Amino acid sequence: MNRSFKLPKFKIKFGKIKMDTVENLDKEKIDYEKLQKENLKKKRTEPYETTHYKTVKEFFYKTVRELPNAGAILEKPDHKSPYRTFTYAEFKNDVEALGTALIRQLNLKDKRIIIISETQYYWYVSYMAMLCGVGIAVPIDKELPTNEIENLVKRSRASAIIYSKNKADDIKKIRANIPEVEYFIEMKSDKPLEGKDVGINYLIEQGKKIVEAGDKSFDEIEIDPEEFKVLIFTSGTTSAAKGVMICNRNLAENINAVNAYVKLYPSDMFFSVLPLHHTYESTIGFLLPMAVGSSVAICEGLRYIVPNLQEVKPTAILAVPLLIENIYKKINESIKKSHKEKLVNSMIYVTNGLKSIGIDAKKKVFKEIHDNLGGNLRIIVSAAAPIDKKVGKWLEDIGILFLQGYGLTETAPISAVTPEYNPMVGSAGKTIVQADVKIENPNENGEGELLIKSPTLMLGYYEDEEETKKVMTEDGYFKSGDIGYVDENGFIFVTGRSKNVIVTQNGKNIYPEEIEMLLEKMPEIKEVMVYGKSPDEFDSKKKNNDKELIITARVIPNIEELDKIKPNMTEEEIHNVIWEKIKEVNKKLTSYKAIKYLEIKEGEFEKTSTMKIKRYKELQKDNK
């Protein structure tokens, strides 16, 4: 569903990390006895007492009542200005005003409304207004080409589109083809209602006047927890996007699930990096902080991530592995430039020893590294794809709590998350307290398809009862399409996707993701996709009874690293260097999993908004 997504290079590099705080530790006054007492108090084995919210409106209005003057959303008006804070009272007033105007002035009650925009304050206002009583929100990817935007407008039968100025040209191109759309609402616009066009600021002002005149009808709307409220189209890692129907209960149960495993506070500041049309960011990165009274600061874009981090000083970041791994690499490059690797590694050893007896001095010891990330960061959550275990372990080693979440759009999205009091780096998280996850037809290693029964599970696929039946078992479990196992403590380990599995002629299953994780550790490889190539593709004329798929690695080389070996290598030299590296990986694999063929790819892989490679798109190109 998306255009090719390329992770921009960081424009501002981390400064040299000198680790002066370590060398001057004798001057620091560390109360080890106090630290030990504090940390021993935190030890627990059971989930926290959790919340029991039924709707988004319930927890949002509760937070507004209790913390009206606390910061809710922080946004930069432009790159040079400081962050502007919208309090919970301001935010709620804008939500109430927009909701009132959409219903009273535009007659959009219970209708479908597309929201398409980069992350900004008015996205949050629009989405919350829909969840609190207007109609059905349809958040879509801002990177979609115009033909796909048009397709989703028609498929969703949207009555209105709320869009940002950056999407104005795209909307203009398709509006003649979507006469069923009654209103086009532009964000950050004061435009009065004229025909089908209106600015969101104008609607908010009109809504405030209606409310001030005594109309409290929007606040009084009662939300049915089971009512279809959000339509989310899957990201397109499969060939056709499905519409996932979400209700308030699904979203509220996500909040209840996380609250059982992770303690969050009004003092927490979330840093929003990922696109909001994705359930991971809109539910856990937005609705969760709204439930606990935390703040959300908007990142201006990946090229501004470092200065934004240092300005806003967040405590929590939700990210995908590709972003986390880039941060990890950048920091370690800075450490190497300062020739402090040995010192950092020795202090990791020392502080891990102290932590084992209840003394956590990591924030003090690794203060310089923390300062590069704003100084207050305590949680990084990774989801959407597997991550190299060493990256998560390293974050824990320097004093950042590393959590992983697992789920799908169909579970809105959480099915599992790491309990902060019992971290398990390497797993995809522990099954949430309200859910049951089991393995279908496990093999000798206990691996099979993950089946999920959870109150976070969708109502079904939009206008597609047949597809809904296909993914549900008779006893109410959802077939995730993910392959993995669950250990005796309820931790989930995902090893691959059932649709990506390569089956050998002997019936052995090969999960490409497992091999990709090994290859991605090589600095010479930027990105890789492993798949089974038909022998006919090598020689279509040759009649061969052997139809065994050939395990193939399609690699985008890391030219910067290769230049360190030899500048300006030829294609053949690049192939030879990477093939030698792959042969080393093959030694770690059983023979049937070994890579037999290497393809060097130019350009970028097409990716979804959560940076997963669109395998089917890549393989489609081969067949053209």
Q: What is the pLDDT of residues 39-50, one digit of tens each?
A: 655 568 899 999
User: What is the C-alpha to C-alpha distance for residues 238 and 248, in angstroms, rounded to an integer?
Assistant: 26
DSSP 444-479: TTS-EEEEEE-TTS-SEETT-HHHHHHTB-TTS-EE
Q: How far is CA 569 from CA 77, 407, 549, 574, 598, in A?
A: 45, 42, 31, 6, 17
Q: Which domain holds residue 169?
A: 88-246
DSSP letters for 570-621: -HHHHHHHHHHHHHHHHTTS-GGGS--EEEE--S---B-TT--B-HHHHHHH
Please report which confidence band the pLDDT of residue 11 belongs to, taking 50, 70 and 90 as the band edges.
very low
What pTM does this model have?
Answer: 0.83
Q: 352: which strand partners?
A: none
Domain end, chosen from 196, 217, 246, is at 246
- For the stretch 322-369, pLDDT in tens is 889 888 988 998 898 888 899 999 999 999 998 888 888 899 999 999
pLDDT in the model for residue 475? 95
- Residue 117 falls within a domain, yes or no? yes
* Cβ–Cβ < 8 Å for 10, 303: yes
**Res. 461: pLDDT tops 50:** yes
Q: Which residues contact 400 (CB under 8 A, 6 or more apart)?
A: 370, 373, 377, 378, 379, 380
The answer to whether residue 284 is domain-embedded is no
Q: What is the mean pLDDT of residues 547-575?
A: 91
Does residue 605 lie within any of the structural domains?
Answer: yes
Predicted local confidence at residue 543, as pLDDT: 47
Q: Which of 210, 228, 223, 318 is nearest to 268 (CA)?
A: 318
Average pLDDT of the segment spanning 375-384: 92
Encoded tokens for 142:
């801002």
Q: What number is the average pLDDT over the span 440-445?
A: 88
Pair 467, 475: CB distance under 8 Å? no
Last residue of a domain, one of 197, 230, 246: 246
State both tokens at 419: 């309990």
Where residue 242 sits, what CATH number does that domain have?
3.40.50.980
What digits encode the pLDDT tens for the residues 515-547?
A: 998 898 899 999 999 998 877 666 554 444 556
Our count of domains for the chain comes to 2
In SS3 terms, 365-377 reads as HCHHHHHHCCCCC
Residues 467 and 478: beta-carbon distance below 8 Å: no
Yes or no: say if 19 and 314 are a contact pair by the CB < 8 Å rule: no
Instruction: Examine residue 493 and state whether it is found in any structural domain, yes or no.
Output: no
Domain annotation covers residue 118: yes
Whether residue 201 is contained in a domain is answered as yes
> Is residue 225 a part of any domain in this protein?
yes
Last-in-domain residue among 214, 246, 278: 246
pLDDT of the residue at 137: 98
* Among candidate residues 243, 213, 215, 217, the one with its CA nearest the CA of residue 230: 243
Q: CB neighbours (10 Å) of residue 67?
A: 17
For residue range 126-145, list pLDDT tens digits in order: 999 999 999 999 999 998 88
Q: Establish if 534 belongs to a structural domain.
A: yes
Q: Domain with 598 in it: what CATH number?
A: 3.30.300.30
The pLDDT of residue 3 is above 60: no
Quick one: pLDDT band at residue 4, thresholds 50, 70, 90? very low
